Amino acid sequence: MLPLVALVGRPNVGKSTLFNALTRSRDALVHDQPGVTRDRNYGVCRPEDQRSFVVVDTGGIAGEEEGLAGATARQARAAAEEADLVLFIVDGREGRSALDDDILRWLRKAARPTLLVINKMDGVDEDAARAEFARYGFDDVIGISASHRQGVDDLLEEVYERLPEEGDAEALDEDPTRMRVAFVGRPNVGKSTLVNRLLGEERMIASEVPGTTRDSIAVDLDRDGRQYRLVDTAGLRRKSRVDEAVEKFSVVKTLQAIEQCQVAVLLLDATEGVTDQDASVLGAILDAGRALVVAINKWDGLTTYQREQAESMLARKLSFVEWAESVRISAKHGSGMRELFRAVHRAHASATHEFSTSEINKALEIAYETNPPPSIRGHVSKLRYVHPGGSNPPTFIVHGTRLKVLPESYKRYLENFFRKRFKLVGTPVRFIFREGT
């Protein structure tokens, strides 16, 4: 499982600024797609050469708010109590406050490993700021400026020193014979109904995969002679409705499952369409670069007219992931399962295909000659060659010159050209452009 890091602190110290600095993907193309939303409190930090971890912005943690705010605060506490590491954020400009003291008391009770982070170190006397918080008694104190992205890399180093080692769970993921599939979606779309049906159908050939202390995180499923590992199934089956906080907290599980799977099946509820929450799960899948199948569940409950309405709405709302296949299913009645698994296999095959350098250079050459990049203010990009940059998602590294003036529209053209030529469905495709040879 991905480690969990919680940002804790009073309002306005810069938690959400730091959250964004940690979780925004470097690839703006991926990040800024229209129609995709992202959860403002839960995200994944993916440093280039280190293990990823889940980041939770716990929002306000101290208050005894009621209603919605109360639920948010409870979630925040639940997240911090489960975290592998808490970053206690304070404001270097304003110094200590009574609220900081309250939070510290609460953190001591929660007893999680905690690092003190003094933010807004830009333009303040750093020694004075450190002295101000010295009485909190932390051995290690990191000063940063989140809004200037200063000190964030040092902070990351400190974080890694404190995160748990990769455990057996990760080793279990490496079983190459099993395709790792995650069924994800917001509460009530039918995930447990679907998973239980799949497992029941197979007369419990499914067995829990041992190896984690907290929760069993996967279940194996053999179906039609194929082997699957359903990621985070324990979280699905043993769901608790006792506390909204716990329910919402499963966002962390969702992010972890997405990270661990090869193919994410996004469940939608046909009777409710695509909600903001659906869109943010989709955003997480795209950020992770996972293969995707959209399963529109509860298709049984719709009249013909409603089905037509649903079709046109889905086509509109999902137009930016045209490459993903969508299937209509009923988890309740078990219909659409064959189509679902076929789509999963197509997505997996596309996502994990190994390309030869010669076939992709041939493709680049044809794409280039059919439609060379346009001249931009007298400058023209030259594309020289391409080499494979890995799979899942398929990644192509294109070398050339004057790539700064290569228009986004041309990048999309290349992507579509490659998709068509290599019949890539159900997976994102990444192009990385490198100046020079």
Residue 256 interacts with ligand GDP (CB under 6 A): yes or no: no
Is the bond preceding 394 in cis, omega lying within 30 degrees of 0? no
Contacting residue, 191, 328, 346, 348, with ligand GDP by CB under 6 A: 191
Of 9 and 393, the one with the shorter C-beta distance to ligand GDP is: 9
254 binds ligand GDP (CB under 6 A): no
CA angle 88, 94, 95 (to 5 degrees): 60
Considering the complex, state which of residue 275 and residue 416 has its C-beta at the smaller distance from ligand GDP.
275
CA dist., res. 380 & res. 148, Å (int): 34
Rounded to a whole number of angstroms, the minimum distance from the CB of residue 304 to ligand GDP is 16
> Measured from the CB of residue 301, what is the shortest distance to ligand GDP in angstroms?
4
12 binds ligand GDP (CB under 6 A): yes
Q: Closer to ligand GDP by CB, 1 or 21: give it.
A: 21
Q: Please report whether residue 72 would count as binding ligand GDP according to CB under 6 A.
A: no
The answer to whether 16 contacts ligand GDP (rule: CB under 6 A) is yes
For ligand GDP, the binding residues in 367-406 under the rule CB under 6 A are none
Place of tokens 């170190």: 121
Binding mask 331-370 for ligand GDP (x = CB under 6 A): xx--------------------------------------
Contact status: 77 vs ligand GDP (CB under 6 A): no
Our finding on whether 41 is near ligand GDP (CB under 6 A) is no
Among 114, 193, 250, 262, binds ligand GDP (CB under 6 A): 193
With binding defined as CB under 6 A, does residue 277 bind ligand GDP? no
How far is the C-alpha of 268 from the C-alpha of 139, rounded, in Å?
A: 48
Residues that bind ligand GDP (CB under 6 A): 9, 11-17, 119-120, 122, 145-148, 185, 187-193, 236, 297-298, 300-301, 330-332
